[in-house]
Amino acid sequence: MAKNEIGPAPFSPVYVIDQDAPLTAVQLARILNERPAGISFCVRYEAGPEGRGGYFFHVQRTGQEHEWTLFDFEKHPIAEMGEDFLCRFVNHCSGRIFDEDCFDFARNKINLRSD
């Protein structure tokens, strides 16, 4: 399969998370707090070639301690969310845990934003 060239991540370098289990809120908070000025991270399953893709997320602290702005690859803001919802959203989008609220959020706030 050909690689999809999407350009540089808004916040470099990309932090890579290779794990099959869902991310915990504590684990995500630790990662986010390493770079509160902005972090791009990629969630991938453990097995696979080193250069494999995954699920990319780009976030930056809003100014509030546990609030984050989600960006696309062009660094356009998409939405603001709390850390707990962000953890649920990452787990939902990366196929680890289905979450009805995140499903509705993605369908109504993200997928329809350019329609």
In three-state secondary structure terms, 74 is: coil
Number of domains in the chain: 1
Domain containing residue 70: 15-109
Express each pLDDT in 19-69 by its tens digit. 999 999 999 999 999 998 999 999 999 999 988 889 999 999 998 889 999
Residue 8 covered by a domain? no
Residue 77 covered by a domain? yes
Distance CA 42, CA 6 (A): 13
Residue 10 covered by a domain? no
Residue 64 covered by a domain? yes
Residue 2 covered by a domain? no
Check if the beta carbon of residue 39 is closer than 8 Å to that of residue 32.
yes
Residue 41 covered by a domain? yes
Express each pLDDT in 55-111 by its tens digit. 999 999 998 889 999 999 999 999 999 999 999 999 999 999 999 999 999 999 887
Distance CA 107, CA 5 (A): 24
Q: What is the pTM of this model?
A: 0.88
Residue 71 covered by a domain? yes
pLDDT > 90: percent of the chain: 77
Residue 3 covered by a domain? no
What is the distance between the terminal CA atoms of the chain, rounded to a whole angstrom? Answer: 29
Distance CA 70, CA 52 (A): 23
